Chains A and B, each alone.
Chain A
Amino acid sequence: MTSSEIASLTVAKVRQGLAAREFSAAELAQEALRFAQAENPKTNAYLHFCPERALAAARRVDEKLARGEDAGVLAGVPVAVKDVILTEGVRTTCGSKLLAYYVAPYDATAVIGVEAAGGVILGKTNCDEFAMGSSTENSAFGPVRNPVAPDRVPGGSSGGSGAATAQGTAVVALGSDTGGSIRQPASFCGVVGVTPTYGRVSRYGLTAFASSLDHIGPFARNVHDAALLLQAIAGRDEGDATSAFAPVPDYTAALDGQVRGLKIGLPREYFQGLASETGDLISKGVETLKKLGCEVREISLPHTEYAIGCYYIICTAEASSNLARYDGVRYTSRSTRSETLSDMYRNTRGEGFGAECKRRIMLGTYVLSAGYYDAYYLKAQKVRTLIARDFSTAFEAVDAIVTPVSPFPAFKLGEKLDDPLEMYLSDIYTITGDLAGIPCMSVPCGRTAAGLPVGMQMLANHFNEAGMFRLAGAFEAAGGFEG
C-alpha cells in the first residue's frame, strides 16, 4: 500500500481489502504503524505507539476471518486513542508530566468496545493536560501541529486525535469532550467529531476531569465511520453508574438521506456578530440543507450568554475535586524534596501540574470554598438548568439545531496562550451542548480562502444520535463537506 492509500482508508475500504485478501489485518497494522510513526514528527499527534497490542488485535481479526467468523464492524481498522483513556499495559499520561510513566492497570470500557469490534489500536494521542484546553498547547509533551496548516493549532483538547484522523495516521480515533474537546479539534482539522448524549458511552477508564460533563466520542473522516465507532462503544456499562440504559439503535441504518421536511433551528444568539468567513461558510452550508428539503427557521436559546460563566464554574469545581488524587501517593510522581506528608502533597502538585491545570484547580477550589459555594457552584447549577431548558423548549419546535463550532478557524500556535479568558471565550458554541447533555457533532463545512477548515455543529435532542447522523450524512452526500 502507498502512503496516500493508507492515509485515505475508510472503514469500508478496510473491509473490502480484507474480504478481497489484498492485505491481512496484521499486514495492514504493520503498514499503518510504519506510516504513522514516520509521519508523526510533522504533527506530534501521537505520544506513544503500542505495536505489540496492535499486532495482537490484528492477529485476532485474521484468525476470526480465517475461521469464517464475523470479525466485527471495525475489523482491522487502525484506531488512535486519546491519552486520557486507559489502555492496560500501555502508558496513559493524560498529557501530564505527573503521569509521564503511568501504565494503566486496566482497559477503559470504550477501549474494550473498540477491540471487541475488531479495531486495532495503534497508539495514544496527545492532548491538553488532563483534557483542559482548546489548543493542545497545554500538553507537557509539546504541542500538536495542525496537519492542514503546521503553524496552527489543531484545536483541543483532543488535538492529537483530530490531527491523527486528518493526517490519515488513524482511520478513526477516540477523543473526550467536556466543553467542546472533540468538536472543536474536528472543526479545526476538517474531520467529523461526535459528542454523544451524556451517558451514551461509558466513561469507565476515562480519566475524570469534570464528571457531570465528561464524554467519550469518535473522530472519523466521514459520517458513516463515526457512526460505526459510536456503535462499538455505546451502551449501558455497570462500570459507569451514569451510563444510560436506553437501547442503542443501528446508527448506520439512519444514513438513508431522508431529511426532506426536517425542521432545523438556527439560534439567533449564535449568529449575532458572526460576520466572518466562518459565518459565510456556515450560511452556505445552511443553503445546502435547504436545498435538501430541510425547513430552516430562526430560534432563540436565550441563556447562551451565561454559558461560559456557568461552564467554567462547574468544570473547574469538579476538576479541583477530581485532580485532588494526584498527590504523590499512588500515581507515579512524587516530589523528592519533601520531609513531611503535607509538603509531599504540595510539592508534588506544584512541580507536576502545568499552568492551565493549576489555574483550574485554583478557580475550582475558590468557587467551592467556604462562603462561596452558593454564590458560584450552586448558582451555576441553577443556570445550567435554564440552559438545558432552552434546548428542551427548542426541540419542541425543531428536530435539529445548526450552529458554527468555533467563532474562528484554527489559530496560530502561541496566539492565545497568554490570555486564559480569551481562550475560554472561544468555547462559546460548544459548551452549551455539554451543559445540556445532548448529542452534538462537528461536520466539515468548507474551507476559508487561506485553506483552513470550518466545522458546522449539528445538535439533536437526548439520545437522537441517529437523527443527527441522518442530517450529517445527507449534508455530506450533498457535497456540504466541500463547502
Chain B
Amino acid sequence: MRLTEQEVRYVAALANLNLSDQEVAKMCEDLGEVLTHMEKLNELDTAGVEPMAQVLYDAAETATLGEDIDRPGIGPEAALANAPLAGAGFFKVPKVIERS
C-alpha cells in the first residue's frame, strides 16, 4: 500500500501540519508501509469484543471525582510566561476576523 500525494496532503491539512514536497513524497511511502502492517489486525474476528479505551480498575465510578472546592491556579502571569506573544493578560494571535 502506498498513499497518494493527494491523500497525504489531505491528512496534513486535517493535522494543521505544513509539509514540504519532499516530506509529502516520503510520507506516501512511510505511512503506506506502516498502514499495511496495521492491516494485519483484520485477520482477527473481534465481533463481540469490548474495546479497551483505558486500563480501568475496580474503583467506584465516582471515586475519581474530586471535591468541588476552590483551588488556586498558576495565575495569568505564569500561564502567559511561555507565550510567544502576549499582551493585556491575553495570548495574542494574528487577526482572525477582519473588521468591515
A positions within 8 Å CB-CB of B: 102-103, 105-106, 198-199, 212, 238, 241-242, 244-246, 303, 305-306, 308-310, 312-313, 320, 324, 327-334, 338-347, 349-351, 353, 355, 358-359, 361-363, 365-367, 369, 376, 378-386, 388, 420-421, 424, 436-437, 462
Would you call A330 and B91 a contact (CB within 8 A)?
A: yes
Residue B52, interface by CB 8 Å: yes
CA distance A103 to B49 in the complex (A): 44
- Contact string, B28-43, partner A, CB cutoff 8 A, digits 1/0? 0011011101111111
The yes or no answer to B88 lying at the interface (CB within 8 A) is no
Closest beta carbon of chain B to A50's beta carbon, Å = 17
List 4 extra interface pairs beyond A362-B31, A424-B34, CB under 8 A.
Answer: A309-B40, A383-B41, A388-B55, A421-B33
Q: Which 10 A-B residue pairings sit nearest by Cβ, starting from the closest?
A: A350-B18, A437-B55, A381-B51, A334-B84, A382-B46, A346-B18, A198-B55, A365-B15, A384-B52, A385-B52
For B17, the chain A residues whose CB sits under 8 A away are: 346, 349-350, 353, 358, 361-362
In the complex, per-residue mask of B63-76: 1 if CB is within 8 Å of any chain A CB, else 0: 11010000000100
Q: Are A349 and B18 in contact (CB under 8 A)?
A: yes
CA distance A251 to B84 in the complex (A): 45
CB contact between B94 and one of A106, A333, A338, A351 (< 8 Å): that residue: A338
- Chain B 19-30 against A: per-residue CB contact (8 Å), 1 yes, 0 no? 110010001001
Q: List 24 A-B contacts (CB under 8 A).
A: A102-B82, A105-B74, A106-B78, A242-B55, A246-B57, A303-B44, A306-B41, A306-B43, A331-B82, A331-B84, A332-B84, A340-B94, A341-B93, A344-B93, A349-B18, A365-B14, A376-B38, A381-B52, A383-B41, A383-B44, A386-B46, A388-B52, A420-B34, A424-B34
Complex Cα distance A102/B52, Å? 34
Residue of B with least CB distance to A388: B52
B16 in contact (CB, < 8 A): yes
Choose from A339, A347, A420 the contact partner of B30 (Cβ within 8 Å).
Answer: A420
Asked if B31 and A305 make an inter-chain contact with CB atoms under 8 angstroms apart, the answer reads no
Whole-angstrom CA separation of A198 from B53 in the bound complex:
13
With A and B bound together, what is the CA distance between A221 and B4 in angstroms?
49
Residues of A within 8 A of B35 (CB): 363, 366
Complex: how many Å from CA A320 to CA B84? Answer: 22
CB pair A334 B59 closer than 8 Å: no
The minimal Cβ–Cβ distance linking B35 to chain A, given in whole angstroms, is 7
Report the minimal beta-carbon distance from B91 to chain A, rounded to whole angstroms. Answer: 5
B74: chain A residues at CB < 8 Å are: 105-106
> Using Cβ atoms and an 8 Å threshold, which residues of chain A touch B91?
329-330
Q: Which of A313, A361, A362, A363 has the most CB atoms of chain B within a 10 A radius of its CB?
A: A362
Task: Name the residue of chain A whose CB is nearest to the CB of B77.
Answer: A105
Contact B66 A362 (CB under 8 A): no
Q: Which residues of B contact A376 (CB under 8 A)?
A: 38
Give the chain B neighbours of A340 by CB distance below 8 A: 94-95
**A residues near B50, Cβ cutoff 8 Å:** 382, 385
A306–B43 Cα gap in the complex (Å)? 9
Q: B31 — which chain A residues lie within 8 A by C-beta?
A: 359, 362-363, 366
Query: Is A382 within 8 A of B49, CB to CB?
Result: yes
Residues of B within 8 A of A313 (CB): 38, 41
Provide the bound-state CA to CA distance between A254 and B19, in Å: 52
**Is B41 a contact of A379 with CB atoms below 8 Å?**
yes
Report A-chain residues with C-beta under 8 Å of the C-beta of B34. 312, 363, 420-421, 424
Minimum CB distance partner of A306 in chain B: B41
Q: How far is the CA of A384 from the CA of B41 in the complex (A)?
A: 11
Q: State how many angstroms separate the Cβ of B48 from the closest Cβ of chain A.
A: 9
Residue of B nearest to A340 (CB): B94
Which residues of B sit under 8 angstroms from A212, Cβ to Cβ? 53-55
**B95 cross-chain contacts in A, Cβ below 8 A:** 340-341
Q: Which residues on A sit within 8 Å (CB–CB) of B66?
A: 238
B81 touching A105 by the CB < 8 A rule?
A: yes
Closest to A101 in B: B82
In the complex, how many angstroms separate the beta carbon of B68 from the nearest chain A beta carbon? 12
Residues on B with C-beta less than 8 A from A345 are: 16
Q: Which residues of A lie under 8 Å from residue B30 when comparing CB positions?
A: 359, 420-421
Q: Are A420 and B33 in touch, CB under 8 angstroms?
A: yes
